[in-house]
Structures are given as C-alpha cells and as structure tokens.
Structure 1
Amino acid sequence: MSKELLNNFSEIIVEGPVDKIINQIKELISSGQLKPGDRLPSERMLSERFAIGRTYVRDAIRKLEFYGILKTMPQSGTFVAGFGITALEGLITDVLKLEGNDFHALVETRVLLETNSARFAAMRRSEDDIISISNALDEYEKAVKEGKSTVEEDLLFHLKIAEASKNAVLKSLMLIVTPDILTYFKENDVCSGDRPKSALEEHHTILRYIIDQEPMKAEISMREHLKDILNFASDNLSP
C-alpha cells in the first residue's frame, strides 16, 4: 500500500468508560432530561447503573465540573450547573464549519482574552492558583512525554490561568471560544509534530512570569505562545 493511499485513512479513536459517561450526561442535558439545578444520582448508584468502577464515574464528574457543567456541593451532592454545557457543545456555532474571516475573528478573540488573562493572573494570583496552574502544567507535560493528544491538558492549563485572573466574565468567554478552536486544530492536525514540545517550554515561561508577578512579561509571553495559531488563522483567511 502506497503512503499516499495510507494517508487517506484516519486513526480510530476508541472511547473509554469516562468518555462514554460524559457523552451520556451531555446528551441528557442537551435533550432536556437533565436541567440546571437537577441533582445527579450518587457515585455509587451511577457506578452500579453503568456497571463500572466508581473511579470512572468520579473522573467523569471531575471533568464535567472543570467545564462548569456539573457542580458538587458538600453534603448535598452533584448538580447540573447549566452554563458550562455551552463550552462543550459550542455556543457560537459549529466551529468545524467556520472558514476564513469567521475563524480568524474567533482566534483573534482568543488572543485578546488569553493575553489579558495572563496579565491579570500575574497581578492577582494566589498561592492556590500557582498550585492549580502547576498541576495542570504537569498533566500537559505528562501527555507530551507519552506522545498523547494534549488538547484537553492544554485547555486545562489556559483555563487555570483564567481562574487566577479573578475575572469570571473573562473565564466564561474563554470557555465559549477556546474549546472549539482547539477542537478545530485537533481535527485538522494543526498542533502535531514538535509543536507540543515547544508549547511546553512556552507554558513554563508563562507560568514563571505569573509566579514572579510580572504582568507585562506574562502578557507578552502569552502573545508569543499564541502567535502560531494566529498565523494559521491569517493564512486561512477567505479571499
């Protein structure tokens, strides 16, 4: 079989238990069977219903909490939060159909949000924020070293910086814009090759400036970090 013909085939992604749980919950929310404020069954009950270990259920809930789709209240249980579902479904549009000027505008918006996020994070971050961003960076580095897709870990790193900015509106806007852009890049194999490794070094630089509370350097480093995706979007502008 020639290499040219082989390139026509795509890698088959096999969903794991966590992904299947997430998709079920997403579908229940999208269909209206689960509404904002509804409480989910306990981890034990869900584990028995899915016929899988509670660890998988816990990991799925943790991811959905991160995206703002679920919220766990001590002594009360886990509830549907509401707004965060837009982050996974895509509030603006189907980004895979975006082309040219529309996609470029979306990327420009991300750059504006991210650079300000980094600047505010350097000004306002707490010690807990540093721990959260560092943990997210550790997960990203682990994925890079294992040669896995880093899309989710990359998003986590950037959103933890947004949390450190102490601007809830900025973070909410990033939750709308960023996941769709990263999905587009993954579908089009934009962030392949050595890009994750170079991005890892850039992540470390950004974090260092946030730790040192140097807002201008953090902003500049973030802008430099996002230069490649802005160039990609510019190269794909509609004529």
Structure 2
Amino acid sequence: MEILNNFSQIVVESPVDKIIRQIRDLITSGQLKAGDRLPSERKLSEKLGVGRTHLREALQKLEFYGILKTRPQSGTVVAGMGIPALEGLITDMLGLQGRDFKSLVETRVILETNIAQLAAENRSDSDIIEIENALNAHRIKIERNEDAVEEDLLFHLKVAEASKNSVLNSLMLIITPDIMQYFKKHNVCGEVKAELVIDQHEQLLQSIIERNPDQAGGVIREHLRDISEYVKTLKNGTKLDSDGSLIT
C-alpha cells in the first residue's frame, strides 16, 4: 500500500485546456504580446487540429477573464496587461478545470436563483418564445425516452439570456456545462423523475411569463433542491478531473 501511495493519478487534459495552455506559453515566451491579433477561428482550428467548438470555448474563457479582447474590425487581441498577470490568470483558469463539484452546484443555485428573478423582471416576448421552444425540445426528448441533458441545459441558458445580465449569463456558460457533463457521466439525473423536471420547468416559465420574481426564485430553488441534497452525500474533497471523472 505504501508503494501505491507513491503513484499519482494521470490527468488527461481536455482540448480546451491544451489550447489555453498553448496560448499561455506563447504569451510567457513573448511570441504573443499585448495588442497582437489572433488568427481567425477557421485558421486557428485548422492549425491546432481541433474543432471550432473547443477553440471557441477556450477563447470565450480567455476573453471572460480579460486575457483576450474582441475589438470591432480588429478581431481578437491579447489584453494590454503585464506578462506575470496574464500568466497568473491563465494558471488560475487551468486550475479551475479540477473543480470541486459541490462548490459548482452551490454556485449554480445562487446564480440561477438570481437569474430566474431577473428573468421574471426583464424578459421580453421573444425571450418567452425561446424558453418555450427549449422546454418543448426537452419534453420531446423525455417522451422519446432519449438522453435530454443538453436540452435541459439549453432551457436554463435561455432563462439566463432572459435575465438581461451579461455577467450572470457568462458565469452560467462557464460552470453549467461542467455540471451537466458530470450528470451524464454519473447518471445523477437518473435519480430525478423526468416528469417532475418538466413540471418544474413549466412552473418556472409561468412565473417568468407572469413577471413574478419571488415565485420564480422559489421554483428554481425547489428545482435544484435534489441536486443540492445529492452533493451533500459526496465525500469531502470529491472533485472532477479534467475529463469529468470523479476523483475521491
């Protein structure tokens, strides 16, 4: 057993991590400087040998943290901060890839409660249509007994868009995909009745239609209660590695 303790787990980096790490290395080596413009997404994805989805996710994360900036008619450029600051930020970002799942869920509850309340206050008629379409797509997958995790995610992201708060929306885009990936890998959603999920989504939509922020906040807290209870059963220190596997 003592010999086994000398070994450490092999962590396989995701394509997004590798893109972020490569950009960090280019910045710290001086090959990328403040104000330098990145190639187009098409050219970058071809050069890196990755799909545009992975590339876009990496660039969005770098832009959210202020490491990259998108300027009209100039494309995506490196931010004008010092190399130590840029390197530190990117290192912190890469560290977030091994997130504490319990903290992710707790953060989601806080975010979505505020998002639901703001959506009820700020939503437009077009937002209602978008949320209804996402709800219907989710319902169809459930009725067909097909995997519906992505449709579930889309519903929540449409509610976030209706909040008209770009920061909350960005935070949802950052943390929610990792949570959903964990759900799929460990079948967390299998413990929750699909009919109940749809019913709660319908209640949330109705609260938003009626512009009732208190009710919307209450519905989303109840909707996420089972997941909040689930994370309490996880051992202290339970984490996700970079490919979504459980580390105990």
Q: TM-score, normalised by structure 2?
A: 0.58
For the Cα contact (< 8 Å) 1:90–1:180, is it kept in 2? no
1:192 alignment partner, SS class: helix
Structure 1 outlier segments of 4+, above 4 Å? 25-32, 59-64, 66-69
Shift of 1:196: 2.9
Partner residue of 2:128 out of 130, 143, 148 = 130
Gaps of 5+ in 1: 1-21, 33-37, 43-56, 70-76, 78-88
2:228 alignment partner, SS class: helix
Query: CA RMSD, aligned part only?
Result: 4.5
| Counterpart position of 1:189 | 187
Gaps of 5+ in 2: 1-15, 27-35, 41-51, 65-74, 76-93, 238-248
For the Cα contact (< 8 Å) 1:95–1:184, is it kept in 2? no
| Counterpart position of 2:206 | 208
Q: Distance in 1 between matches of 2:195 and 2:25?
A: 40
For the Cα contact (< 8 Å) 1:209–1:215, is it kept in 2? yes
Query: What percentage of aligned pairs have identical amino acids?
Result: 45
| Structure of greater Rg | 2
| Counterpart position of 1:179 | 177
For the Cα contact (< 8 Å) 2:131–2:205, is it kept in 1? yes
Distance 1:200 1:191, change over 3 A: same
Shift of 1:186: 1.3
| Counterpart position of 1:147 | 146
Q: Distance in 1 between matches of 2:25 and 2:190?
A: 35
Partner residue of 2:221 out of 220, 223, 226 = 223
| Counterpart position of 2:165 | 167
Count of residue pairs brought into register by the alignment: 206
Deviations 1:56-83 (A, max 9, x none): x9x999999x9999xxxxxxx9xxxxxx
Q: Distance in 2 between matches of 1:161 and 1:227?
A: 18
Q: Distance in 2 between matches of 1:139 and 1:27?
A: 36
Q: Distance in 2 between matches of 1:160 and 1:214?
A: 17
| Counterpart position of 1:8 | none
Q: TM-score, normalised by structure 1?
A: 0.60
Q: Distance in 1 between matches of 2:20 and 2:117?
A: 33
For the Cα contact (< 8 Å) 1:95–1:181, is it kept in 2? no
Shift of 1:163: 0.9
Shift of 1:27: 11
For the Cα contact (< 8 Å) 2:192–2:226, is it kept in 1? no
- 1:116 lines up with 2:114 in the alignment: yes
2:190 alignment partner, SS class: coil
For the Cα contact (< 8 Å) 2:138–2:148, is it kept in 1? no
- 1:107 lines up with 2:111 in the alignment: no
Shift of 1:194: 5.6
| Counterpart position of 1:4 | none
2:205 alignment partner, SS class: helix
Alignment of 1:7-156 (within 5 A): 91=96, 93-95=97-99, 98=101, 103=102, 105-144=103-142, 145-150=144-149, 152-156=150-154
For the Cα contact (< 8 Å) 1:111–1:226, is it kept in 2? yes
Q: Distance in 2 between matches of 1:26 and 1:202?
A: 37
Q: 1:107 is aligned with what amino acid?
A: V
Shift of 1:179: 1.2
